Amino acid sequence: MSKVDANGSAKPRPASTRRSPTPGKATILAIGKAFPSQVIPQECLVEGFIRDTKCEDASIKEKLERLCKSTTVKTRYTVMSKEILDNYPELAREGSPILNQRLEIANPAVTEMALQASLSCIKQWGWPPGHITHLVYVSSSELRLPGGDLHFVTRLGLRSDVSRVMLYFLSCYGGVTGLRVAKDIAENNPGSRVLLTTSETTILGFRPPNKARPYDLVGAALFGDGAAAAIIGADPLLCHGESPFMELSHAAQREGFNDVFWAVHPGGPAIMNKLENTLKLRSDKLECSRKALMDYGNVNSNTIFYVIENMRDELMKREGGEEWGLALAFGPGVTFEGILMRSLS
């Protein structure tokens, strides 16, 4: 069995007991995450949201209370704060023209969260940022030109010749799309190391409740803010400290549904219940997804990385854990993105 550190994360098994990476195949070498400082326990959300939006409709409050109980979310993080509402009171007023104000808040917040998640990831990777050759930057929460990728490169101090790919407004499936793009880059550019970062905030969608927009309450009850990052590369330099834990492969059914692990974006409990029932999955198969939803809410494109981190730690705890699995995310449309993964733990 693997050991567990003081933070509850599984430590890698000795190299002799780990699966060997396939030559030329992209692997995840490190993963990181970051959140804003404002924490919202789910049981406190309703009173705060109703107060901040000055809503006096008792029926809306009752509906939001019911939704909050049904989401299974326990904790979320948010950029929104009393200071922001004091500086931008129009955010809580119906009908105010507030796109510019939203972007003034969201753009720097998205970059800052992406920066902190990437620093955490790079620290885990153990190599200096100068060895990063490519950047894949994912967000559905900012809008500007030059894009956030350029601001991010400057803040993180990456090389000026880093190749950048920006993926905007893919919503919840953006994280898995980013993995696919990073995989293609890593496997077609020998020696490359790709930094994939995703960062999201709900600021763009924050507005007072209105009976004409009932779905707004679902967002208020379910979504949170945060960022994630991963280093992707093929042919890891094991003798120089690189420690891959997942290998990215082509999506194809190799085994029965219950014979593989599942890293599913937890868009909400209804999506996971439907997937579980349709594929007749064992109840434990989506446990890592349900835990991510409970701890952070639906954080858009980032959430799949919180699930993958949970899956990594879970597989490291188990002897004879599943070798193959599927990362899957759903988005508007309905659109979904999937990628076959191989655990190297």
Q: Which distant-in-sequence residues (6+ apart) come within 8 Å of 271 by Cβ?
A: 330
CA atoms of 31 and 19, how far apart (whole Å): 19
68, 121, 172, 288: which is the annotated catalytic residue? 172
**Residue 239: left if φ>0, alpha if ψ -120 to 50, beta else—which one?**
alpha
Active site residue 172: yes
* Best CA proximity match to 51, nearest among 299, 200, 220: 220
CA atoms of 159 and 141, how far apart (whole Å): 25
* Best CA proximity match to 339, nearest among 200, 209, 173, 208: 173
* Best CA proximity match to 204, nearest among 233, 169, 173: 169
Token pair of 218 as six digits: 């679902």
CA atoms of 192 and 249, how far apart (whole Å): 17
CA dist 194 → 134, 136, 242 (Å)? 5, 7, 14
Q: What are the residue numbers of the active site? A: 172
